[in-house]
Amino acid sequence: MRASILFLSVAHAWPDAQHNLPRAEHGQQDFSQALQLQLQTSHLAAKDLQYTRANGQPYPNPTSAERIGETGPILLKHHHLIENLAHFVRERIPERVVHAAGAGAHGVFTTTTDFAKQHTMMDVFSEVGKQTPITVRFSTVGGEAGSADQARDPRGFAMKFRTQKGIWDIVMNNTPVFFLRDPAKFPFFVHTQKRNPQTHRKDPNAVWDYFGQNAESLHQFLRLFSDAGTPQGFVNMDGFTSHSYRWIKKDSSWVYVKLHAVSDQGIHNFTAAESEKIAGENPDYAAEDLFTRIESGKFPSWTVYAQVLTPAEAEKFRYNVLDLTKDWPENLVAKHEIGKFELNQNPQNYFAEIEQAAFSPSNVVDGWEISEDPVLQARAFSYPDAQRYRLGTNFQQIPVNCPMNPVGKDGVFGGVTGNQGSRPNYLSSFQSINIPPRQYDDSNHTIWTAGAIRYLSQVSSQLLIR
């Protein structure tokens, strides 16, 4: 099934271009009509549109500039030129501090078994055959936007599910582990993957210095410097949540869970020599491969599996199940199929649909919670904070990020989409908003009895145990 995601319909149920604009009642102005019209016209052909200024004035001379005579200065009253230049120098937004180079597409996730339903109340898994629209973005980690997407680097694998109960994001990598388990190390680690502050060149000395000082990175290091560090594009690799999450049922019982998206195309990697050659010849190889496959109807797909551990099993496991530097071997924790997803729609506008896509592990839905993995908890803060910087405080109202049913007002919540109208901006007894019932009692897994631990990276005898 080829799903077509029309983002002007996703965002607060805005009508698509085939519907008439709603009319305001009793002669009142409907301020949402202009926004709806802008969203509609973004999907029209150029031949159906007129060139206008920013205020909507049809403008007959886009390349002209008024000046005094043939040698005089340009007039400040030439508003089109001024606003055009002002827009031009502001049209680039800050790039992602990591995962800046990437590509993405849209598609559909289909629940294929009832295994997940046995462990979680998540709506997306409520019945076999249920389909959920998704957006997926693949990326490298260390390179800047425009850098070679075939570089030796882990790959990001972020997914956004538009469920009936809210936006659910999972931010995966193509490896089941990571370089660290202490979030305080993350900024320092990333700096070693970026450019030297003096030479502004990549600094291999910094990279090797970090690995030499931080033994817990060994597992990921070995994966990175195998052929798995240079996958053949984005579609020939798997995705792993890496972190442990929680699946929760209505009766408040819960299990730890990790997800694994297995490429139906198989795992195919380049050698170091092949990767270096392709990166030099076509730095956008992976992005081009993804786009071309979808455009030609050869839709890439993945089968998703889950591994689960009960709290009792986790306590007896061979190491801490919250340790991001270790995975769960399949001979110890079996994996079970839960669904499949297919990417079948290229973005119509990369900036609007992929560059502005905002993924965060804090976007959870009923039945899915983050665990006490300290790196995961740090990511749950830093991802939306980065998006507030990169995309602005109203980033959740960008159509690709927009949930179906938010009710926040003002500032970060109200922004540009009506600000929830005339309804009170507090919990009013005069116009009461419906408060959903608590879906489960989480008191049985939010009791902490230990003291504070300030350092998570001690070298122990478990270092080489996978």
Residue of 12, 80, 119, 173 with catalytic role: 173
285 is in an annotated binding site: no
Residue of 99, 119, 243, 260 with catalytic role: 99
Q: How far apart are the first and last CA of the chain?
A: 39
CA neighbours closer than 13 Å in the CB half-sphere of residue 403: 18
CB 318: neighbour CB atoms within 10 A?
A: 12
How does DSSP assign 71-137, residue by residue? TSPBPTT-HHHHHHHHHHTT-PPPPPSSS-SEEEEEEEEEE--STGGGT---GGGSSTT-EEEEEEE
Residues contacting residue 109 through CB under 8 Å, at least 6 positions apart:
124, 131, 132, 133, 134, 161, 304, 339, 340, 341
Query: 């079948």: which residue's tokens?
Result: 344
Backbone dihedral angles phi then psi of residue 359, each to the nearest 5 degrees: -105, 145
Query: CA–CA distance from 375 to each of 141, 209, 324, 383, 446 (Å)?
Result: 16, 22, 8, 12, 18
CA geometry: angle at 386 spanning 139 and 145, to 5°? Answer: 35
Please say if 173 is a catalytic residue. Answer: yes
Q: Which residues are annotated as a binding site for heme?
A: 383
Q: Which residues are annotated as a binding site?
A: 383
Active site residues: 99, 173
